Amino acid sequence: MYQELLDHIKKYVQLSPSQQQQFCEKLQLITLKRRAFLLEPGKHCQGNYFITKGCMRQFLINKKLNEQIIHFGIEHWWIADQDSLLNNQPSACYIQAIEETELLLLHEKDRISLFKEIPPLETYFRIMMQKSFVASQRRIGFIFNQTEEERYRHFSKLFPDFVQRVPQYMLASYLGFTPQFLSRLRAKKDL
């Protein structure tokens, strides 16, 4: 399972065998059953989690007590509450397993120390943060500039397998509309 992460890193930066070993020694394997929580409001996020198997969601509960999904994570994606990590404050969100999930945790203190010891890791994490930021910007742009149907079609085209893995109400929450609207949309025979 470490090899999956090392292969992912190799797409962006090169680590020597000794750097790979040093990095892997800092990782902690975490397994979660379906619906188990990795993080809940009021608790500090421990670090960044690389998903080797499974599917996760990050969400908030709004003032109307509705879940608002802000992020999904599947194999080879990272998930964390960056606000909690950066500002060393309790989380305001939940991170929950949608499926049985295996993750590799890199504690924040270890990540920071590894940046000094293995400079390419800092480059790798900067690239990951930039990619995440771009994805967030695009999502916001889609919410403001596309109709609900256009958002659904676009997301389905980009992530066809993902749409099958995630319950309909979660997908609706992430895309910014009601589950009922999504049901009507999916019932159209041309989708």
State the virtual CA torsion across 128, 166, 102, 41 in degrees, nearest 10. Answer: 80
| Beta bridge partners of residue 106, listed in sequence order | 27, 48
Tell me the residue length of the chain: 191
Q: Which residue has the tokens 């990095």?
A: 23
Which structure tokens are listed for 7?
């292969």
Better-scored residue on pLDDT, 95 or 158 = 95
CATH topology for the 2-117 domain: Jelly Rolls (2.60.120)
Output DSSP code: residue 75.
Answer: T
First to last CA, the chain: 36
What does the pLDDT look like over 86-130, one tens digit per residue? 999 999 999 999 999 999 999 999 999 999 999 999 999 999 999
Mean pLDDT value across the chain: 91
Classify 48 as helix, strand or coil.
Answer: strand
Per-residue pLDDT at 191 exceeds 50: no
Q: Quick one: pLDDT band at residue 145, thresholds 50, 70, 90?
A: confident
Q: Cβ neighbours of residue 3 under 8 Å, at least 6 residues apart?
A: none
Per-residue pLDDT at 159 exceeds 90: no
DSSP H or E stretch at residue 59? strand 55-61
pTM, whole model, 2 decimals? 0.88
What does the pLDDT look like over 34-60, one tens digit per residue? 999 999 999 999 999 999 999 999 999
